[in-house]
Amino acid sequence: MFFKSMKLSAEKLDSHLQSKLAPVYLITGDEPLQREEAADAVRAAAHRCGYTEREVMFAERGFDWNRLASLGASLSLFAAKRVLEIRLPTGKPGDAGAAAFNEYANNPATDAVLLVISAKLERGGGRWAEALEQVGVHVSIWPVEMKSLPAWIGRRMQKLGMRPTPEAVSLIAERVEGNLLAAAQEVEKLLLLNGQGQVDSASVREAVADSARYDPYTLVDAALAGDLRRATRILMGLEEEGTEPAFIQWALAREIRNLAVLACEIESGIPAHRVLAGVWEKRRAIVQKALERHERAEWRRLLCLSAHSERVIKGQAAGRPWDELLNLSVKLAGLKPPGSGHSNSRERHHRA
């Protein structure tokens, strides 16, 4: 199948995916939120087009690059279409990886989409990146500058059906201090609290005031810091105030996904200080503490636990949502839960 190669910004990816699907997507950059959301968009578009299976490979030290060729060749007319996803933490596949990418670009699988998610490439990335771009799409992720942050927040709100005033957008931008993840969380919180439609500065101030005592993001930070007593106290306060469990689960899950990626990058050999450079400075210490507390395999287990808690909250699995949220906070903190009255979660934790 012929496909004209192209380079796209993250902002233009959605419109592209609505009209066509390329055989290869190379997503590069050091901004975790935008990079992961671009990958999510490709996966969703592929799923709509019938690519219902997914093979995920982490190209770490010692990775067998023959897997890419064998997976691409093993697909047939009778096999389910799938996404072949390769995570490249360093942006450098080495000689073997470069050769594997070049070979794949010369003969891409007709019933698979190759999705390569990489750190920022140096000097264009080399011939392997050019080869992939020639048969697909290269999405370059660039940091959002402070002066562009209000526009970025405004577009995000409009995409979710909100109509913010300029004053509301400015208030959010001032509150998050350049942190894209925090900005995304504030937007999601406003959507959950106020729904779609008009959003003015009063709505933003009210949302900030509502979260002054018990805040899901404070819960996340307490768990990352290993302060389980404080995390439990915040979680119980959120329950008493009637906070929507789905919002809390979303905040915990997003943090776990982001840290799982960072842990993979560190284990692949990237210096921790470079990996943590993209973390908001005020949160860097607790993020580092959490990464030191959990190995990469544990982050994967946390991802599975997070997915289970989401199913419970949506009524797709048996359980009590608040017990699941406590259990997830316990595991994230890496400690045994204190006496909190949530007996079911404590029992599950001891059995685990």
Q: How far is CA 325 from CA 249, 322, 331, in A?
A: 7, 5, 10
CA gap 208, 243 in Å, rounded: 14
Same domain? 229 vs 200: no
In a domain, 35, yes or no: yes
In a domain, 240, yes or no: yes
Mean pLDDT rounded to a whole number for the chain: 85
Same domain? 104 vs 198: no
Q: Residue 343 has what pLDDT?
A: 39
Rounded to the nearest angstrom, the gap between the alpha carbon of residue 54 and the centroid of all alpha carbons in its chain is 17
In a domain, 77, yes or no: yes
Residue ranges for the chain with pLDDT beneath 50: 1-2, 211-212, 336-352
Q: Is 241 left (phi over 0), alpha (psi -120 to 50) or beta?
A: alpha
In a domain, 1, yes or no: no
Query: Considering 115, 140, 165, which residue would you say is the last residue of a domain?
Result: 140
Q: What is the DSSP string of 100-116?
A: HHHHHHHS--TTEEEEE
Same domain? 303 vs 328: yes
> Which CATH number fits the domain that encloses residue 170?
1.10.8.60
- Residue 26 contacts residue 98 (beta carbons within 8 Å): no
Same domain? 207 vs 230: no
Same domain? 166 vs 136: no
Same domain? 95 vs 127: yes
Rounded to the nearest angstrom, the gap between the alpha carbon of residue 56 and the centroid of all alpha carbons in its chain is 15
Specify the number of domains making up the chain.
3
CA gap 277, 100 in Å, rounded: 30
Query: Which tokens is 39 given?
Result: 């990958």
Which residues make Cβ contacts (< 8 Å) with residue 185, sequence separation at least 6? 217, 251, 254
Q: Residue 235 has what pLDDT?
A: 92
Q: Residue 277 has what pLDDT?
A: 77
Same domain? 206 vs 258: no
Same domain? 205 vs 221: no
In a domain, 88, yes or no: yes
Same domain? 204 vs 232: no
Same domain? 205 vs 286: no
What is the pTM assigned to this prediction?
Answer: 0.60
Sequence letter at residue 167: E
In a domain, 196, yes or no: yes
> Which CATH number fits the domain that encloses residue 36?
3.40.50.300
Q: Residue 209 has what pLDDT?
A: 53
CA gap 152, 145 in Å, rounded: 10
In a domain, 261, yes or no: yes
Range of the domain at 242: 217-351
Q: Residue 124 has what pLDDT?
A: 60
Query: Considering 140, 168, 184, which residue would you say is the last residue of a domain?
Result: 140
Same domain? 77 vs 167: no
Same domain? 131 vs 11: yes
Rounded to the nearest angstrom, the gap between the alpha carbon of residue 296 and the centroid of all alpha carbons in its chain is 15
> Which CATH number fits the domain that encloses residue 225?
1.20.272.10
Query: Considering 159, 185, 211, which residue would you say is the last residue of a domain?
Result: 211
In a domain, 93, yes or no: yes
